[in-house]
Structure 1
Amino acid sequence: MIAIFSDTHSSHGHELEGEALTAAREADTVVHAGDFTSEAALEAFQAECTTLFAVHGNADSAAVRDRLPTARVVDAGGVRLAVTHRRGGGETGLAMFGRSRDADVVVSGHTHRPTAVETEACLLLNPGSHAQPRGHRPGFAVLEESEDGLEGEIRKPDGTLVESCTITEQ
């Protein structure tokens, strides 16, 4: 399982609870699309996850920015994920970012709005914010292997399904 988070915005910890915390602990790979805000939040995530791949966001402290890249590519669960906090150009800019990295999925954050948008190039996945939804539903995402590729779900921290998607093998 791949668990995906973004926009923690915490000065002291990971702010994970319920099924979101369980997913972070049990996932083979955890991806975070930035805005931990503090080193304490980053380190709390690292303490809960076996394998964490993260990028920094616009609200991250200088110390977090020094430790994390702006963008990265993660190969996990048979798919390639291109991870960034935000990109100019909206969905088109994110799709171009994914295409340039031969990605199946682009993971982004910044908006705090959980969404899954299928484009011709790739799936655009924003898990939302599990801790500071800012007027949107709180969220995180999971990707799990299926017979046809990966099944994706955006869930609330209590595990309630918000949206689902499928990433088929190419």
Structure 2
Amino acid sequence: MIAIFSDTHSSGGHELEGDALTAAREADAVVHAGDFTSETALEAFQDECDRLFAVHGNADSAAVRDRLPTARVVEENGIRIAVTHRRDGGETGLAMFGRSRGADVVVFGHSHRPTVVETEDVVLLNPGSHADPRGNRPGFATVEARRNGELEVEIREPNGTVLETVAISTA
């Protein structure tokens, strides 16, 4: 299982609790789409996760930006994930970003709104914000590869309430 987070916006720590904290601790890999805001938050995530793959966002401090790339590709459990905080051009720009990297899923943040969009050849996934939802429901996501070749994407609230589940064929 891959746990996915974004937009922590914290000066004090990871702000993880409940099922979000459990997912971060138990995941094969954790992906974060930026806006930790502080090095303290980034380091708190690193302390909780065995394997953290993160990018920086527009609200990250210079110290965080110096430590993290703007974009990256993560391959885990047969899933190829392109990660960015935001991309000009909306859904089209995100889909092009993912296609150019051969991704199954594009993980992005910035809007704080949990979202899953299936495009013709890539899934766009914004986990929302577990800590600073800004009028949206708080969220994080999980992605799991199933034996039948499908990906199961879930967006959940930190307390475990499932907001959306999508099964996606990768064949």
Q: Which amino acid aligns with 1:48?
A: E
Q: Which amino acid aligns with 2:164?
A: E
1:91 is the counterpart of 2:91: yes
CA-CA distance at 1:90 after TM superposition: 0.5
Q: Percent of counterpart pairs with the same letter?
A: 76
Q: Which residue of 2 aligns with 1:125?
A: 125
Please tell me whether the aligned partners of residues 7 and 109 of structure 1 are also in contact (alpha carbons under 8 angstroms).
yes
TM-score, L = length of structure 1: 0.98
Q: Which amino acid aligns with 1:129?
A: S
Q: Which residue of 1 aligns with 2:107?
A: 107
1:154 is the counterpart of 2:168: no
C-alpha offsets along residues 8-48 of structure 1, whole Å, 9 cap, x if unaligned? Answer: 00001000000000000000000000000000000000000
Q: Which amino acid aligns with 1:168?
A: S
Q: Which residue of 1 aligns with 2:64?
A: 64
Distance (Å, rounded) in 2 between the aligned partners of 1:130 and 1:62? 23
Q: Secondary structure at the match of 2:64?
A: helix
- Superposition CA RMSD, Å: 0.7
Q: Secondary structure at the match of 1:21?
A: helix
CA-CA distance at 1:121 after TM superposition: 2.1
Please tell me whether the aligned partners of residues 98 and 105 of structure 1 are also in contact (alpha carbons under 8 angstroms).
yes
Distance (Å, rounded) in 1 between the aligned partners of 2:144 and 2:75? 14
Q: Secondary structure at the match of 1:166?
A: strand
Q: Runs of 5+ in structure 2 lacking a partner? A: none
CA-CA distance at 1:164 after TM superposition: 1.0
CA-CA distance at 1:147 after TM superposition: 2.3
C-alpha offsets along residues 65-114 of structure 1, whole Å, 9 cap, x if unaligned? Answer: 00000000000121100000000110000000000001000000000000
Distance (Å, rounded) in 2 between the aligned partners of 1:112 and 1:122? 20
Distance (Å, rounded) in 2 between the aligned partners of 1:16 and 1:167? 27
1:50 is the counterpart of 2:50: yes
Aligned residues: 170
Q: Which residue of 1 aligns with 2:9?
A: 9
Q: Runs of 5+ in structure 1 lacking a partner? A: none
Q: Secondary structure at the match of 1:66?
A: helix
TM-score, L = length of structure 2: 0.98
Please tell me whether the aligned partners of residues 71 and 83 of structure 1 are also in contact (alpha carbons under 8 angstroms).
yes
Please tell me whether the aligned partners of residues 79 and 145 of structure 2 are also in contact (alpha carbons under 8 angstroms).
no
Q: Which amino acid aligns with 1:157?
A: P
CA-CA distance at 1:167 after TM superposition: 2.8
